[in-house]
Amino acid sequence: MKTDSLFYRLFQNLPTLLFELSGITQPQGEQYQFRSEEIKQTSFRLDGIFAPPESEQELPIYFVEVQFQSETDFYSRFVTEIFLYLRQTLPVNPWRAVVIYPRRSLDVGETANYSELLESERVKRIYLNELEVLPTSSLGSKLVKLIVSRKNQVISTAKELVSQTKQETLSPTEQARILDLIETIIVYKLPQLGRDEIKEMLGLTDIDIKQTKFYQDVFSEGREEGREEGRQVGREEGREEGRQVGREEGEKELLISLLNRRFGNISPSVKEMLRRLNVSQRLDLAEASFGFTSIQELENWLSNQNLSS
């Protein structure tokens, strides 16, 4: 997983983090939604867009790029992507841009044709190694510190973060997401370690997925929705067997509904694969889905399940 992907996962789970890092005071920052967007009829893709609620037309759209490698034509590409997006979508909102570098030495992009824009309030450049003290002590800021920490500091930094996560007033789902992000970052930073080793070093126990809202929605409310179908099947196949079939069908349909709400319209072929998942696979998906940032990741996960037709 590339470093920029880690940042984009952080932004998706913690949208106010961008404003903390950049020192931008943004009202209603928690209402922003982070996404990637393909620009039609071009090979360009905007990897990071923070979009405010549609009803808040005075709030800016933020274009975000995480640059952990040298790229001499970066600003040419980035500015072109932004203005193509503005031309195609014609948003009424104002816009801003934020570029995040690990250090100033990687900022080698040619700026001659864009200097006025880059020096304006439209664009803010952040150099993480120059943030001696991150703007806040929030979990999001400390996750950034973990990403850019030296390898010999990774475990100690992660342990502090795990301890803070457990002490914060978080819902089980929020805590599960933060711990999953910590574990994912450690896997990226220390690829020679296995997940079991990492969990032992950090003092992590398996997240009780049954306490998360996602699990409760899929596996508790799903049973409720399956009761009616269970009654019908029960008349035909026997009461107890019918209840069981009905519960399972209810769980499957609610799982599809929740994932459809999160990722948009799910294709019929993906829905069919979801319906073929057994109980164990649905449990695994409930946990794995915390880390999904796109429908493609869901499809990749399903393709690895060896589902029979």
Tell me which residue of 289, 276, 274, 277 sits closest to 209, measured CA to CA.
Answer: 289
Where does residue 84 rank: exposed (0-12), middle (13-18), buried (19+ CB within 10 A)? middle
Distances in Å between the Cα of 25 and the Cα atoms of 19, 158, 231 are 7, 28, 55
299-305, long-range: CB < 8 A, 24+ apart: 299/270, 302/270, 302/273, 302/274, 305/273, 305/277, 305/281
DSSP 272-286: HHHHT--HHHHHHHH
Overall average pLDDT of the 14-18 stretch: 87
Report the distance separating Cα 97 and Cα 124, nearest Å: 6
For the cut 60, the answer to whether the pLDDT of residue 244 exceeds it is: no
Report the distance separating Cα 201 and Cα 217, nearest Å: 32
Q: What pLDDT does residue 250 have?
A: 64
Which residues, 6+ apart, have CB-to-CB distance to 184 below 8 Å? 1, 6, 9, 291
Q: Which residues pair with 115 in a beta bridge?
A: none
Overall average pLDDT of the 183-209 stretch: 74
Contact 61, 93 (CB under 8 A): yes
Contact 224, 250 (CB under 8 A): yes
0.75 exceeded by the pTM?
no
Give the tens place of pLDDT for each residue, 118-172: 999 999 999 988 876 555 567 888 888 888 888 888 888 899 888 888 888 887 7
